[in-house]
């Protein structure tokens, strides 16, 4: 257990569905991240939130909509996804954004399949 919990662990959705991924951490961290991990691709940074404010959007399509209501929770709202969006979506958190010596703690990920 890393202290970062993601739900659900697996999700199958149709292209017209709307679903949300949830990430929760009680480590007292101020920065939270969404990464996408596809087969044969590196961990791709999607969004970064620092102190509940979105500070990075790595050119992610608008069909992915993040939300960070507080420092402990992060959501990724999904709508009208494409089959190529099928991937493992990882949430991570770290304590001090902007410093060089901060490790990131990852959740177990949500395995998303778009049919």
Binding site for another protein (CB under 8 A): 2, 4, 31, 33, 35, 41-43, 45, 48, 50, 55-56, 90, 97-109
Rank residues 16 and 107 by Cβ distance to another protein and give the closer one.
107
Tell me the closest approach of the beta carbon of residue 103 to another protein, in angstroms. 4
Query: What's the token pair of residue 8?
Result: 């659900």
Tell me the closest approach of the beta carbon of residue 49 to another protein, in angstroms. 10
Q: What DSSP state is assigned to residue 3? A: S
Tell me the closest approach of the beta carbon of residue 55 to another protein, in angstroms. 4
Rank residues 14 and 113 by Cβ distance to another protein and give the closer one.
113
Helix ranges, 46-86 (H): none
Alpha-carbon dihedral sign for residues 10, 79, 24, 94: positive
| Phi, psi values for residue 83, rounded to 5° | -55, -30
């Amino acid at each position: 257990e890393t202290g970062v919990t993601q739900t659900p662990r697996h999700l199958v959705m149709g292209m017209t569905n709307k679903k949300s991924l949830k990430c929760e951490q009680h480590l007292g961290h101020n920065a939270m991240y969404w990464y996408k991990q596809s087969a044969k691709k590196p961990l791709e940074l999607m969004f970064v939130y620092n102190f509940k404010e979105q500070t990075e959007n790595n050119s992610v399509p608008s069909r992915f909509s993040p939300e960070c209501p507080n420092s402990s929770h992060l959501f990724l709202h999904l709508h009208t996804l494409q089959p190529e969006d099928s991937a493992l979506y990882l949430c991570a958190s770290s304590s001090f954004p902007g410093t060089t010596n901060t490790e990131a703690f990852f959740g177990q990920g949500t395995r998303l399949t778009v049919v």
